[in-house]
Structure 1
Amino acid sequence: MDGPAEFQFVNSNSSISDMDDYDISRLLGKPRLNIERQRSFDERSLSELSIGFARGGVDNFETYSPGNRSGLDTPASSMRNSFEPHPIVADAWESLRKSLVYFRGQPVGTIAAVDHQSEEVLNYDQVFVRDFVPSALAFLMNGEPDIVKNFLLKTLHLQGWEKKIDRFKLGEGAMPASFKVLHDPIRKTDTIIADFGESAIGRVAPVDSGFWWIILLRAYTKTTGDLTLAETPECQKGMRLILTLCLSEGFDTFPTLLCADGCCMVDRRMGIYGYPIEIQALFFMALRCALAMLKQDAEGKECIERVAKRLHALSFHMRNYFWLDFQQLNDIYRYKTEEYSHTAVNKFNVIPDSIPDWVFDFMPTRGGYFIGNVSPARMDFRWFALGNCVAILSSLATPEQSMAIMDLIEAKWDELVGEMPLKVCYPAIESHEWRIITGCDPKNTRWSYHNGGSWPGASLLFSCAVVGSNGCLHQNGAATNSATSN
């Protein structure tokens, strides 16, 4: 993946060595995917100013030099003003800067949320790895990479801590879900407290934090042109530790990554246990980023070989078994069960009667998506926004699949977007199913929070996915449906 956040789109018949040929700065100049709906004046203003901001940021990526904060000969403040055609953008930057967290005088991230009306903030006053990524991309586009570099180094330092939960030691490569800075005004000292899952609601360690860290490191490298950070022994070791944790051999027969409920952005037990699409897409994205940054030395060479093999197997598995379109839905509906041997068509022994009724109304004749989960005797047919958008951005989805995902969103706009930001998943679980799966979690009632709630943060990935899927149309050469490619 190339570009500010590793957004790169390659032909499905490209080899891994070809994966650095496309970047978002080239794609932004091309016609955008035509997704239209009736919008109010305020909505049009917001979308237009956002596109203008993104274009301005991307246009300056190539002119950025590591020694110049703004990337231009003008002051950084002047550069920021050039991106602020609307007062809302200025307000957004002001709010973002107010959320900055400092450690020993240096900004190291942004807190998850600022709520002046609530006295009980729980852990929202902490810097979350996954939540900081959109802020980090904004700072990179605005020519302020120092904040991102400080964050990357600080979380890398936290990775080296001994991580114990109830006398049980976590793997070396585990990254924290979040960290908090405590200021002592009397002693004038700063202390960091990291959370690896021992304080989290549900006590679940984050699987996605390590992936986001690798992706952000690659974004920093591509944006600044500064290769020295990623090539330091510390960063190389940090990447290898994360990859070793994820690529370890076990009893699993699938190349996907086994994960627990609550291990990622869709948490608080939402029935995603197994192989959730969000984690698999981030896993694929992080592997590709790592492949571009790992050094060909004695320690890195073996890791590179393992990454390349896993990418090959993972892309084949995901494109074949997680993909659902109208034709595949018909095939599953006609599956035979209890098939034995390697010739079985219904490899996961999915019972056709387990297909929920809503899927038949939801699936358009033109379009498709990666379903939420695939495991023995079970397919989670829910739509998850983050996983599908990241699949496009990382080229986990083929060009044809990328366009099909966008066709689905266009056909089901009212259900997936409506008048609000993108829904994190669809449909929401409710009634008896909600009681069983969530444990009657009042925070995850239907159409709220993780249970079909509207997430503004997902809009960034969706916007980039629109650009990416549109870029697939302009690639040279005919696309192929071969799932064994890439």
Structure 2
Amino acid sequence: MVRVHSYEKIVDNASVTHIPLKSCASIGSNFENFEPNSIYSAIKLNNTENNAMMEEAWEALLKSYVYYKGLPVGTLAAMDPTAEALNYNQRLSLSNETSQCWWRSRDSKEFPVKNSPPPRLRETLVADFGGSAIGRVAPVDSGFWWIILLRSCTKCTHNHTLSEMPEVQRGMKLILNLFLSDGFDTFPTHLCADGCSMIDRRMGIYGYPIEIQALFYFALRCSREMLKPERDGKELIKRIDKRITALNYHIRNYYWLDFTKLNNIYRYKTEYSHTAVNKFNVIPESIPDWVFDFMPLRGGYLIGNVSPARMDFRWFLVGNCIAILSSLVTPAQATSIMDLIEERWEDLIGEMPLKIVYPALEGHVWRTVTGFDPKNTRWSYHNALIWLLAAACIKTGRPQIAKRAIELMEQRLSKDGWPEYYDGKAGSYVGKQARKYQTWSITGYLVAKL
């Protein structure tokens, strides 16, 4: 579906997405002569805060590159020489063959490059549509990220050629038609958002987790900017506008929690009417005790999930940061989220930034909800998410928060071998099943630092 010469542009544009525009000029505009090292050199020249840890991170990232027909098409998930590979030797790659597979199944995320045995060496891409995933659960959030990344590339390069290609426009429409279809939230594909709502939850998600809602909103806004109003495009844009308006109102009003809102919920009564204040029949006695101690007078956040009589009052980093970046929350709410992080620094950041969720489920509740899943460990920190925090801090004018968190990370991340995640209430211990030299830990640090 995507021609090879167009794909070369995809690789180059995707690689410079998070590079300052002044660095893009240093790389050059000759897509045919793309060299991974040129990106490293350009950033090294333009980054005044370069240090030994960044040098090490870039070198480790370059070693993880996967090549297909001479072009870099992705990275390995981890380069740990002491651990079993599992699915860590696979990663998303983007090419002509990959794109054709994408349209057939929009849940696919891994396309390992396979080499045929000698004497005839031949590289092929083998699509994995969830068959080797944990619990055979294929995530759908890759579709959201595909659209967001495409918009990011377009904004960075000021080049609309890629996003306006018929194949790419068709790809967006296929993804959006799936997401905007009636009953999408109950589809089997809506089981797990990879790397964002797995922690402390069963893989079969129930209700409407904030991570998915925020990503959905972000992808809709990005699509709205790129879709061409041709043929069925006009009708799709109308559906997007309608959903954006409804989602915006719903999240800002029903997912938001601060001291005032908590005090109101504490006094809720059971009601039966169209004008009911307690719309979701939340019984005050169901509010966990920890919420009252956790909620400061200054600050607030979007709670984890909202469903009738069952609200997940926990803090989830991904949903809150993406809500800031996509402007799903108001400027005042974005400021309150940053206030909360500062007020509850020890709880949310700890010794090794940063918590994906607070507080963690423990004991019998953790065992029954997650099914004893050892890759779903309570009190786990995922280092790759530092870039999301840094981006949210920059947007809200609070870069000092990100700087403080990054400085904490720099004390140990490299010395510990760039582990996948940390365990413990303060993030003191390298995770039990954490792989070393994890690509997302490395790139998360680099993007945050830049």
Short-chain TM bin:
0.7 to 0.9
Q: Deviations over 1:20-58 (max 9, x none)?
A: xxxxxxxxxxxxxxxxxxxxxxxxxxxxxxxxx999725
Runs of 5+ in structure 2 lacking a partner? 1-15, 400-450
Q: Provide Cα deviations, 1:231-265, integer angstroms capped at 9, x if missing partner.
A: 1111101100110001012498xxx9998553332
Alignment of 1:6-405 (within 5 A): 57-60=20-23, 66-67=29-30, 78-82=41-45, 83=47, 85-118=50-83, 120-128=84-92, 151=94, 155-161=98-104, 163=105, 174-186=106-118, 187-250=120-183, 260-265=190-195, 266-267=197-198, 270-271=201-202, 272-337=205-270, 339-405=271-337
Q: Name the SS for the 2:378 alignment partner.
A: coil
CA distance in 2, matches of 1:321, 1:93: 42
Q: CA deviation at 1:181?
A: 1.4
Separation in structure 1 between the aligned mates of residue 17 and residue 103 of structure 2, nearest angstrom: 35
Q: What's the CA shift for 1:64?
A: 7.8
CA offsets, 1:132-163, max 9 Å, x none?
xxxxxxxxxxxxxxxxxx737665332123x4
Contact conserved, 2:199 with 2:378, CA < 8 A, in 1? no
For 1:125 and 1:107, the matched residues in 2 are separated by 15
Q: Is the 1:274–1:374 contact (alpha carbons within 8 Å) kept by the matching residues of 2?
A: yes
**Greater relative CO (CA pairs within 8 A, separation 6+):** 1
Kindly provide the amino acid, as one letter, of the partner of residue 61 in structure 2: L
Greater shift after overlay, 53-62 or 81-90?
53-62
Q: In structure 2, do the counterparts of structure 1 residues 268 and 395 end up closer, same or farther at CA, with 3 Å as the change threshold?
A: closer
TM-score, scaled to structure 1: 0.72
The structure 1 segments of at least 4 consecutive aligned residues displaced by more than 4 Å after TM superposition are 53-56, 61-66, 68-71, 75-78, 152-155, 256-261
User: Do the aligned residues in 2 keep the contact of 1:275 with 1:375 (CA within 8 Å)?
Assistant: yes
Any unmatched runs of 5+ in structure 1?
A: 1-52, 129-149, 164-173, 448-452, 473-486
Letter paired with 1:315: N
Change (3 A) 1:311 1:55: closer
CA distance in 1, matches of 2:280, 2:131: 34
* Shift of residue 471, structure 1, vs aligned partner: 8.2
Measure, in 2, the Cα distance between the counterparts of 1:300 and 1:55.
29
Preserved CA contact (<8 Å) 1:262 1:269: no
Structure 2 residue identity aligned to 1:109: G
Task: Flag the 1:440–1:297 CA change in 2: closer, same or farther, 3 A.
Answer: same
d(CA) in 1 for partners of 2:189, 2:200: 12
Partner of 1:132: none
Report the identity percentage. Answer: 55
| Letter in structure 2 aligned against 1:383 | W
Q: CA deviation at 1:443?
A: 3.1
Q: Which amino acid aligns with 1:270?
A: R
Are 1:459 and 2:386 counterparts?
Answer: yes
Shift of 1:76: 5.3
Aligned twin of 1:168: none
Q: Match for 2:42: what amino acid?
A: M
TM-score norm. by structure 2 comes to 0.77
Cα 1:69–1:353 shift into 2, 3 Å: farther
- 1:290 maps to amino acid: S
Once residues 103 and 55 of structure 1 are traced to their aligned partners in structure 2, the CA distance between those partners, rounded to angstroms, is 23
Cα distance, 1:345 vs structure 2: 1.2
